Amino acid sequence: MNHTLKVGVLGGGSWGTTVAALVARNASTHLWARDPETVLEINAQHTNERYLPGAKIPVKVIATNDIEAAVAPMDVIVMGVPSQNFRAVLEEVKQYIRPWVPVISLTKGLELTTGMRMTEIINAVLPGHPAGVLTGPNLAREIMSGYAAASVIAMTDQIIMKEVQKVFHCGLFRVYTNHDVIGCEVGGVLKNIIAIAAGMGDGQGAGENTRSAVITRGLAEITRLGVAMGGEAQTFAGLTGMGDLVATCTSPQSRNRSVGFELGQGRSIEEITNKMFMVAEGVKSAPAVIELADRYGVEMPIAREVYEVLRGESNANTAFRGLLRADIGAESEPG
């Protein structure tokens, strides 16, 4: 059935382009990007050198900067745009989308002004459209190079979820299902903050032991807040929790870890972000994460240290000294 489906992927960055390349194996695929040069390059050269240097995009992927063409005929819409532009693009989508078409988010962030997850924004802007999230430890360049990877599709409607699973699952890219939308989405958001912390340690020359401690204690923070928000504890031990956290905290390809590394080298967040052309979602989402932690009464010492560094109220060296001086107790306790 999926060979007859039409899928619109919105967002011409590294992950949006990669997902379009994957989906093209199973369905007719249109990729929407605002930049006319990106559209021309994908259609003429089958590359997207700015975001995926050296990668070849399947000829079946048709790029367009006409959002109506990318939405109106489609059976599934996939949103691969940054969190702070997500709502605005959905408002454009709203003009053209057919009734009941599922909308799947690829975005691992929170809307800064509301603290909303992307599926919450989908439900608010497009009520009646099944909302879901595709998330997991997925580094775009590795997937485009043909390395094996696993991801998770999470939706509340189990029947639609299993059909959407077939759209994404292909070859060495394995896609599992999970009904815990909140847990899957929260894990993808919060791991970015912990990755900045891990990068700060790496930038200061901290060892493997330190990084392992940051990852493990970071997972405890993610789980506490995720469960408080309505997620299921076991979700955070899976691909969208521990799996995504490890990949993001350890890979040089991780934008959030790279931001942390630069902070650890003594650079300011303004210097770092000014030279980046791709979004590090952890930088954008940190204030919303801390607001959620305060709202739910959850202690998140690592996330809070990262937030203070990003605000310029602390620096990477001071942040790590603060974490090392923190009171200790049982492993199951915050801190």
Q: Give the bridge partners for 175, in sequence order.
A: 151
Region 118-147 average pLDDT = 96
The whole-angstrom separation of Cα 312 and Cα 316 is 10
Tokens of 1: 């059935």
Tell me if 211 sits within 8 A of 249, measured CB to CB.
yes
Amino acid at 286: A
In this predicted structure, what is the pLDDT of residue 326? 59
Complete domains list, the chain, with CATH: 2-179 (3.40.50.720), 182-325 (1.10.1040.10)
- What mean pLDDT is reported for the chain? 93
> What is the tens place of the pLDDT at every residue in 174-232?
999 999 999 999 999 999 999 999 999 999 998 899 899 999 999 999 999 999 999 99
Give the CA distances from residue 136 to residues 52, 140, 148, 176, 222, in Å, rounded to whole numbers and listed in that order. 19, 11, 13, 10, 15
Confidence at 330, pLDDT banded by 50, 70, 90: low
Tokens of 232: 């299921």
Which of the residues 6, 60, 191, 275 is marked catalytic?
Answer: 191
Tokens of 29: 């695929």
The whole-angstrom separation of Cα 134 and Cα 25 is 17
Instruction: Please count the other Cβ atoms lying within 10 Å of the Cβ belonging to residue 1.
Output: 10
Nearest by Cα to 19 from 66, 50, 51, 65: 51
Residue 68, CB-side half-sphere exposure with 13 Å CA sphere: 1
Amino acid at 326: A
User: Over 80: is that where the pLDDT of 1 sits?
Assistant: no
DSSP, collapsed to helix, strand or coil, labels residue 280 as coil
Q: Examine the residue annotation and report whether 191 is marked as an active-site residue of this protein.
A: yes
Of 87-91, 95-99, 284-288, least confident by mean pLDDT is 284-288
The whole-angstrom separation of Cα 287 and Cα 12 is 26
**What's the whole-model pTM score?**
0.92
Q: At what angle do helices 208-228 and 181-203 cross, to 10 degrees?
A: 150
User: Over 90: is that where the pLDDT of 54 sits?
Assistant: yes
Counts for the chain of helices (H) and strands (E), in that order:
15, 8
The whole-angstrom separation of Cα 239 and Cα 147 is 16
Torsion angle of C-alpha atoms 30, 97, 79, 7, degrees rounded to 10: -30
Backbone angles phi, psi at 132, to 5 degrees: -150, 175
Longest dimension (CA), the chain: 60
Instruction: Please count the other Cβ atoms lying within 10 Å of the Cβ belonging to residue 252.
Output: 10
The whole-angstrom separation of Cα 48 and Cα 41 is 7
In this predicted structure, what is the pLDDT of residue 280? 80
Q: Pairing state of beta strands 131-135 and 149-155?
A: antiparallel
Instruction: Please count the other Cβ atoms lying within 10 Å of the Cβ belonging to residue 320.
Output: 21
> What is the tens place of the pLDDT at every residue in 262-312?
999 999 998 998 887 777 888 889 999 999 999 999 999 999 999 999 998
The whole-angstrom separation of Cα 286 and Cα 300 is 12
The whole-angstrom separation of Cα 64 and Cα 27 is 17
In this predicted structure, what is the pLDDT of residue 3? 47
